[in-house]
């Protein structure tokens, strides 16, 4: 045995305990109960926008673009995105609004007064692609639940190098 090395898991003989008569029961490994965490898109991808509400006014001039969008473009949009539930309802004497409802329970609303149908389509796409979280700056290009493959650098390993 090296100096500074010691055996693992061996009881030192003890004067006042007769080892032969004591029963040592190993505690089997216990387990910690957790739940697995979701990684959307690793297996299945679930679109986070689950509902879009379109509100319009039949009288107001600010809804003119919205009315044209609803009659001409919305059906095609709905056909392309069957996973989004779409509701259209009047909101008299108010500006037109699109509201997105998300799986995390949040909702986002965009006012589309006086906008052209093509601009409204852009706003609808913004709501469709959002995930319901508040917008935040992404600083790291990759975020992952997995451990780093290379590990963390340790000062205690490898040879010492002179400066």
Partner 1 sequence: MKRLQLQRWSSTALSPRVRTNNRLHQQLYSTGLRLQSTVSPLQSESAISENVEDASFQNPDAMRHIRRAHKRKTQLQYPSPPVEAATQSAKLAALHARLYLPSRLPLQTLARTLVDASADSNVDFNNESLATLGHDLLANYTSEHLICTYPRLPLSVTFAAMYAYVGPKTLAAISKEWGIDNATVPGGEVDPGFLQFQRVAPGTAVEDISQLKSARPYADQKNWRMTVSSKIFYDDEFGDAIKGSVALGQGVTDETARATFVRAVLGAIYLHAGRPAAKRFFEQHILSRHLNISELFNFSQPARDLARLCARENFEAPVAKIVSETGRKSRSPVFVVGIFSGQDKLGEGSGSSLMEARERAALSALKGWYLYTPINPRVPSSMEEEGAAPWKPAHIDLGELLPTEDG
Binding site for partner 1 (CB under 8 A): 1-2, 4-10, 23-40, 42-44, 46-47, 50-51, 82-87, 103, 145-147, 154-157
Comparing CB distances to partner 1, the nearer of 90 and 114 is 90
Residue 96 neighbours by CB distance under 10 Å: 26
The distance of closest approach from Cβ of residue 28 to partner 1 in the complex, given in angstroms and rounded to an integer, is: 5
Q: Is 50 exposed, middle or buried (0-12, 13-18, 19+ CB in 10 A)?
A: middle
Q: Are 48 and 103 in contact (CB under 8 A)?
A: yes
- Bridge partner list, 107: 101
Comparing CB distances to partner 1, the nearer of 24 and 135 is 24
Enumerate residues 6+ apart whose C-beta is below 8 A from 154. Answer: none
The distance of closest approach from Cβ of residue 112 to partner 1 in the complex, given in angstroms and rounded to an integer, is: 22
The distance of closest approach from Cβ of residue 156 to partner 1 in the complex, given in angstroms and rounded to an integer, is: 4
Comparing CB distances to partner 1, the nearer of 40 and 125 is 40
């Amino acid at each position: 045995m090296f100096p500074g090395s010691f055996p693992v898991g061996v009881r030192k003989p003890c004067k006042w305990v007769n080892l032969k008569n004591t029963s040592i029961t190993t505690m089997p490994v216990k387990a910690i109960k957790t739940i697995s965490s979701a990684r959307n898109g690793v297996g299945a991808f679930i679109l986070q926008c689950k509902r879009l509400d379109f509100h319009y006014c039949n009288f107001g001039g600010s809804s003119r673009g919205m009315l044209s969008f609803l009659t001409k473009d919305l059906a095609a949009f709905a056909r392309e995105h069957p996973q989004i539930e779409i509701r259209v309802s009047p909101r008299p004497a108010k500006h037109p609004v699109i509201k997105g409802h998300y799986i995390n329970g949040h909702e986002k609303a965009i006012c589309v007064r006086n906008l052209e149908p093509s601009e409204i389509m852009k706003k609808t796409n913004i709501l469709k692609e959002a995930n319901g979280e508040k917008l935040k700056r992404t600083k790291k290009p990759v975020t992952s639940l997995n451990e780093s493959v290379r590990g963390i650098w340790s000062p205690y390993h490898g040879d010492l190098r002179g400066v």
